[in-house]
Amino acid sequence: MLVLAGDIGGTHTRLTLAETEGATVRLLHTGRYLNARAQGLEEHLSDFLAHLPRPGSACFAVAGPTDGRHVRLTNLPWAIDAGSIESAFHVPRARLINDFQAVGYGIAALDDAHLAVLQPGHPEPQAARAVLGAGTGLGVTFCIHEAGGYRPLPSEGGHIGFAPADPEQDALLRFLREKYRRASVERILSGSGIVDLYRFGLHQTGQPGEEHPLLGGPLPAAAVTGAALDASDPTAVRAMALFCRIYGQTAGDLALLAQATGGVYLAGGIAPKILALLMQRHFLEGFLAKGRFSDWMRRVPVKVVLDEDVGLKGAALAAQAA
């Protein structure tokens, strides 16, 4: 089946024309677009589809809550309407799904080469899965098994409140409240969150932060993670250790919520880039620190998704059923 799929994030849109058969997805043509250069998705679609055959159906993974036909994106001033896309591009059927629902669908299309294991655990067939991922924001979905495979549920779990686990994190919560009033986990587990963690580290050590070299460039989050990876900046190292620990705490909380012995999957743009840091002790220490349930947490498989096309593949599989 020939389908059009898209993954619309806060920063980039990725589009593909794909063939699907069961859980197999073959990406035929792909394109990547910077959203700041367009007024809406239609501009990207016009460019992408200019010389391609029309698909039988389409599905777009969007960073925001959707009813399947309409969305106003959370981190981008766009509104998308499936009916308008059907009319403008002569697509018989189009649907919208949450971006992390698409990732949840896409897990079925991955093999071991696209996954890095943080904890092997003891996976239970057909048990629930939890998928979360830090990028521009924090995406979350839970996947439940039904006849025919896993069905991802829509979720805005990235906006749950941050629960500090120690005095350092108590101080971080106070720091974030001064800026945002309410501190969700997305305020930490995101690109902008990495920058705030670095600023928090500077604040804790009495260093001025406004003109710090790592924060002065166009990609400060990448600069902080790079400095942590090569251990060239002690504040960056501490900031990313805290990031990984809170990432583990949050993943563990979600695993408990879903009883996710089918696995916890870390997706999104940040996890593959900081895999070496996630492999250190901080993530699993946060993940396992669940008091009376610490032993149970060791049963939960934890894997990092390395395939940057997982959202596209998942949207293609969802388009197949549109």
Residues 25 and 122 in one domain: no
Tokens of 94: 């189009």
- State yes or no: pLDDT of 69 exceeds 90: yes
Per-residue confidence band for 110, with pLDDT thresholds at 50, 70 and 90: very high
Residues 11 and 100 in one domain: yes
pLDDT of 322: 66
Write down the H helix ranges in 37-90: 41-48, 82-89
Residues of the chain above pLDDT 70, percent: 99
Per-residue confidence band for 209, with pLDDT thresholds at 50, 70 and 90: low
Residues 67 and 127 in one domain: no
pLDDT of 210: 67
Calculate the average pLDDT of the chain. Answer: 94
**CATH number for the domain that contains residue 224:** 3.40.367.20
Residues 26 and 55 in one domain: yes
Per-residue confidence band for 245, with pLDDT thresholds at 50, 70 and 90: very high
pLDDT of 11: 81
- State yes or no: pLDDT of 146 exceeds 80: yes
Per-residue confidence band for 65, with pLDDT thresholds at 50, 70 and 90: confident
**147-194: pLDDT as tens digits:** 878 999 988 899 999 999 999 999 999 999 999 999 999 999 999 999
Strand residue runs (E) in the chain: 2-8, 12-21, 24-34, 57-62, 70-72, 79-81, 94-98, 115-119, 129-134, 138-146, 149-153, 264-267, 302-305
| Helix, strand, coil distribution of the chain in percent, nearest 5 | 45, 25, 30
Residues 37 and 135 in one domain: no
pTM, whole model, 2 decimals? 0.91
- State yes or no: pLDDT of 232 exceeds 80: yes
Domain that holds residue 26: 2-106+309-320
Question: Coil, helix or strand for 231?
Answer: coil
Q: What is the total count of domains within the chain?
A: 2
pLDDT of 10: 77
